Each structure stands twice: as structure tokens, then as C-alpha cells.
Amino acid sequence: MTACTRLRAALFGILCLAGSAAAQAEAFVFTAIPDQDERHLTERFGKIADYLSEKLGVEVQYLPVKSYPAAVSAFRNDQVQLAWFGGLTGVQARELVPNSEAIAQGKEDTEFVSYLIAHTSTGLEKSEQLPAELAGKRFTFGDKGSTSGRLMPEFFLREHYGKSPNDLFSRVGFSGDHNRTLSLVQSGAFEVGALNYAVWDAELAKGNIDTSKVQVIWASPSYPDYQWTIRGDVDARFGTGFKDKVQKALLEMTDPTLLAAFPRSGFVPATNQDYAPIRDTAVAIGLMDAE
């Protein structure tokens, strides 16, 4: 072997080792829909990244996003391989990424609920039925892509009143997240709003809600909501059985501090089929195509 040949072989070996090291160093990245303000999200998911890194034996990073569509796009574009989606965003993402799967949902997400809240100046009181007096009020949803802050509340409103929100209310807004919805209604900027019951309960427990100004007036029927969705190519990239390891790590998350970040009491297995009712609802109100 000539000196030149030996040099080429050595360089080839170095490149192979470098490539192997780069592959081994690939980070597993996840995101979450921004259903609360950025400070809450960073607090919630930084600890989850540390937990998953320990359980999976790979570097795990949390990638914050600015909007619900951005979360779906990050998943579609392979910027993230795992995402904590709402019901609707999960359905949208899985349709865009073949073989992706819902693998876990919160125990509470099997029967999730939306609240309608109202400023006390409206005189609206808590009721099992949607009140006739709701018509003509200033109303805000959460994000346009939110299951609990838009999709399901809009469906129930249309079903009960037989009108679109624009025809039912004097003004319709989209706050962007559940905390913002709460703030807008509590301040009186909007008279009524729809939000995730878990956010209301958590903020109430923290003393962040002035119940002399805002109160829950209606709770929706239950529906499936948040879930962890994973791309179908993770085993090919991170090793055979990696998807199952991720699911196992999520299902075995029992630390109350970690679970409080969601907040959930634990996680249970989920499948794509669990969210067929969400897709059907999105089609029914025109947010998704039938095909």
C-alpha cells in the first residue's frame, strides 16, 4: 500500500467515525402547542426534557413554538419528532406525516371539558344548559387551532343555537391562549369566553382568578383532547424499539412535580382512532376537509 493510499484510507476512517459520532449525537426534539404564555411553557417542558433524556439515554431538547400552526409545521418539517398536541392539532399533524402515531394521553384527556366563563357584569349564572342570554355578547375563543378553546366550544354553540359564532355574538375574538382568554374576560374586554377547564382550575388554585369579576357559567360534554404524537421514523433514526421506549417513559411518569407541569394525574396509552371524533367534529364545522 502506497503512502497516498494509506492516507486516503486513514481519512476515510476518520470521516466514518465522525459520521457515526454525529449520528449517535443526534438529539431527540419535542415541542408543545403554546396553550399558555411562554414562561409557563418553558417551566413546564424543560424538566420534561431532562426526564426523557435520562429515560431514553439520548439528548432530548424542547423546542418552543409561537403558535399552534407552528407546532404542526415543526412536526411536519421534522424539526421535532415528538409533540404534545391538542386533539385538533394532533389530528392535523398525523394527517401530514404518514405513520405518525398518538402514543399517550393524560388520564384526564379521555374525558376533557371546556368551560364558558363570563364577566359578572353580564348577570349570567352557572347552568347545565347554554343560556339564551348568551346571544349578542362579546365572545372570545382561545387559539383558532385549539380543541378546548375553539373547536369543541364552537361545535356545541352551533349545535345548540343553530348559528355560527359570528351570527350569534356581537363580536368574536381569538385570544391566542387560555390564560389570555381568562384575562380578557376577567378585565371585561370580552364578556364571555371559552377555555380549557384544567387551566381555569389551576389558576383558581393559585389564587389568580378574581371570582367577583369572572365565573364559570357552563361546562361542555366531554371529549378526547391532548396527546403525545410521535413520528413514524423514530425507530429507524434512534434504534429499533425507540418508539416503545418513549411511550414507556411517558406512561411511567409518576413524579408529581413533572405531572403538575401539564397538569395531569398521569398518562395512559392512546391511539389515532381515539381521536376520530375530533376529526369528525372539525369536518362538521368546516375546519377540515372530509377527505
Backbone dihedral angles phi then psi of residue 223, each to the nearest 5 degrees: -160, 160
**Considering the entire predicted model, what is its pTM?**
0.82
Whether 224 shows a pLDDT value over 80: the answer reads yes
Which cell numbers hold the place of 39? 414562561
Question: Domain extents for the chain?
Answer: 6-110+225-284, 113-219
Confidence of residue 51 (pLDDT cuts 50, 70, 90): very high
216 Cβ contact partners less than 8 Å away, ≥ 6 residues apart: 115, 116, 117, 126, 200
pLDDT of residue 217: 97
| pLDDT given for residue 17 in this prediction | 42
Is 50 exceeded by the pLDDT of residue 53? yes
Q: According to the CATH classification, is domain 6-110+225-284 in 3.40.50.300?
A: no
Confidence of residue 41 (pLDDT cuts 50, 70, 90): confident
| Of the options 2.60.34.10, 3.60.20.10, 1.20.1250.20, 3.40.190.10, the CATH number for the domain spanning 113-219 | 3.40.190.10
> 38 pLDDT exceeds 80?
no
Do the domains at 6-110+225-284 and 113-219 have one common CATH topology? yes
**pLDDT tens digit sequence for 75-95:** 999 999 999 999 999 999 999
Please tell me the predicted confidence (pLDDT) of residue 288: 84
In the prediction, which pLDDT does 211 show? Answer: 96
CA distance 112 to 197: 8
